[in-house]
């Protein structure tokens, strides 16, 4: 064989290997994603549980942008975990509950549910506070363990499957605070929840007996257990700037002074609170990194990424980032909810807020870009491949 032919053959072989590997995800680094959280990344679990009952998330205008029909996502289109899957060249994650007993989930599954909390409802009873959702992080971890036992029987099979997967652990914990604030409780008392919420997400060897609302099982809602099960890559996102949420702004527009707002029109106290949570979570991630140097722990800064379009919305083609696209009026958000009778105030791609609480696909795209490529993740997700 001539030298020229030999070189050409090598090029063809390298090209073939690259093409064969392209379908398995970017760099073949993650073969699947498993995600946990609340309505920010729910891809249909809550809508499935609604069954044949009324559910606004199964109706237009939800899903109007990308899918052109409702999918159970609490947005006009894709949510954060969808952008992560697409960047890793994986299919969009299915909700786990529709195929809870039979799904093989070859590319992963999403366990997130609207209104989920990090802490179980029992925790809040000591504060004389009722949290309606039973689908706390512990329940989601329980579903995950049941699925693993079914699709990967045996410890070695589980460890292999998890070692090839990316775990997205949240955002979770925001509702633990939001439900308290929404119940008009003394807001300063919420500071006392921060250590427990952070511990629930990431503290060492914390196992809680979760009773009635959490199905009477023992769940360990911690990074430590996921690591012990064989997980090698876990992303832990922080909380958003809740002082910039239109519904929060509307709730406090009659009991605030000009000094309560920052230069962007956001409520200072609530953003400071989010940052207190985020500082505690970052410290916990750093502590776990020191203990588990063979595990990729990715700290995602959703707060910083969201503040990019709050500070400079026109850079992203967004108008007023504090105005909701669907429902309410054209100033923040009123009691008129986003449903099939609601007014759409313009193209969702020009808004950051979808319904006054949840974000638009456009906003999620901006945030995901900062997480995937930096600088709003440590390390950026794509650099962990």
Query: Secondary structure of 174-231 in the HEC alphabet?
Result: HHHHHHHHHCCCCHHHHHHHHHHHHHHHHCCCCCEEECHHHCCEEECCCHHHHHHCCC
Helix (H, G, I), strand (E, B) or coil at 64: coil
pLDDT of 12 strictly over 60: no
State pLDDT tens for residues 39-61.
Answer: 999 999 999 999 888 899 999 99
DSSP letter assigned to residue 261 = B
C-beta of residue 113 within 8 angstroms of C-beta of residue 38? yes
Of the residues 38, 332, 355, 368, only one is catalytic, namely 355
Q: For residues 115 and 136, give the distance between their C-alpha atoms in angstroms, rounded to a whole number.
A: 9
pLDDT of 260 strictly over 60: yes
Question: What pLDDT was estimated at residue 28?
Answer: 59
Q: Which two tokens stand for residue 249?
A: 């702004």
Of the residues 277, 332, 333, 358, only one is catalytic, namely 358
pLDDT of 5 strictly over 50: no
> Alpha carbon of 334 to those of 207, 252, 366, 371: distances in Å?
41, 12, 26, 32
Q: For residues 377 and 124, give the distance between their C-alpha atoms in angstroms, rounded to a whole number.
A: 31
Helix (H, G, I), strand (E, B) or coil at 77: coil
pLDDT confidence of 332, banded at 50, 70, 90? low
Sorted by where each begins, the domain ranges of the chain are 28-384
272 catalytic residue (yes or no): no
Helix (H, G, I), strand (E, B) or coil at 32: strand
Q: For residues 278 and 236, give the distance between their C-alpha atoms in angstroms, rounded to a whole number.
A: 11
Would residue 120 be called left, alpha or beta, if left means φ above 0 and alpha means ψ between -120 and 50 degrees? beta
State pLDDT tens for residues 266-283.
Answer: 999 999 999 999 999 999
| Nearest partner of 203 among 228, 176, 179, 221, judged by Cα | 221
Question: What pLDDT was estimated at residue 216?
Answer: 33
- Mean pLDDT, range 215-236, rounded to an integer: 66
Of the residues 39, 75, 96, 353, only one is catalytic, namely 39
6 catalytic residue (yes or no): no
pLDDT confidence of 202, banded at 50, 70, 90? confident
Question: What pLDDT was estimated at residue 14?
Answer: 36
C-beta of residue 70 within 8 angstroms of C-beta of residue 63? yes
| Three-state SS sequence of 273-328 | HHHHHHHHHHHHHHHHHHHCCCCEEEEECHHHHHHHHHHCHHHHCCCCCCCECECC
358 catalytic residue (yes or no): yes
Q: For residues 275 and 177, give the distance between their C-alpha atoms in angstroms, rounded to a whole number.
A: 13
What homologous superfamily is domain 28-384 in, according to CATH? Answer: SGNH hydrolase (3.40.50.1110)
């Amino acid at each position: 064989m001539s030298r020229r032919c030999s070189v050409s053959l090598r090029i063809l072989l390298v090209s073939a290997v690259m093409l064969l590997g392209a379908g398995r995800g970017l760099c073949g680094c993650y073969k699947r994603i498993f995600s946990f959280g609340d309505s920010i990344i729910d891809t249909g679990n809550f809508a499935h549980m609604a069954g044949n009952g009324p559910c606004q998330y199964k109706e237009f205008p939800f899903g109007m942008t990308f899918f052109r029909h409702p999918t159970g996502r609490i947005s006009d289109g894709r949510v954060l975990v969808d952008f992560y899957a697409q960047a890793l060249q994986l299919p969009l994650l299915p909700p786990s509950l529709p195929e809870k007993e039979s799904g093989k989930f070859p590319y992963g599954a999403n366990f997130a549910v609207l209104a989920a909390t990090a802490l179980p409802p029992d925790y809040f009873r000591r504060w004389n506070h009722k949290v309606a959702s039973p689908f706390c992080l512990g329940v989601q971890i329980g579903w995950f363990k049941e699925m693993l036992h079914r699709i990967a029987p045996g410890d070695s099979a589980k460890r292999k499957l998890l070692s090839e997967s990316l775990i997205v652990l949240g955002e979770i914990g925001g509702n633990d605070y939001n439900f308290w604030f929404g119940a008009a409780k003394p807001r300063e008392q919420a500071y006392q929840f921060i250590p427990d919420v952070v511990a629930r997400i990431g503290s060492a060897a914390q196992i809680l007996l979760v009773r009635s609302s959490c199905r009477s099982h023992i769940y360990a809602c911690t990074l430590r257990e996921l690591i012990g099960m064989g997980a090698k890559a876990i992303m832990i996102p922080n909380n958003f700037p809740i002082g910039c949420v239109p519904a929060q702004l509307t709730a406090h527009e009659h009991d605030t002074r000009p000094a309560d707002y920052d230069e962007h029109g956001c409520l200072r106290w609530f953003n400071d609170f989010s940052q207190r949570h985020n500082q505690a979570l970052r410290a916990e991630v750093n502590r776990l990194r020191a203990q588990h140097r063979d595990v990729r722990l990715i700290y995602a800064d959703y707060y910083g990424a969201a503040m990019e379009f709050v500070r400079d919305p026109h850079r992203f083609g967004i108008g007023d980032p504090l105005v909701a696209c669907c429902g309410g009026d054209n100033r923040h958000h009123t009691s008129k909810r986003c449903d099939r009778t609601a007014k759409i105030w313009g193209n969702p791609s020009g808004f950051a807020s979808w319904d006054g609480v949840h974000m638009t696909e456009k906003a999620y795209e901006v945030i995901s870009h900062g997480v995937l490529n930096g600088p709003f993740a440590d390390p950026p997700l794509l650099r962990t491949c």
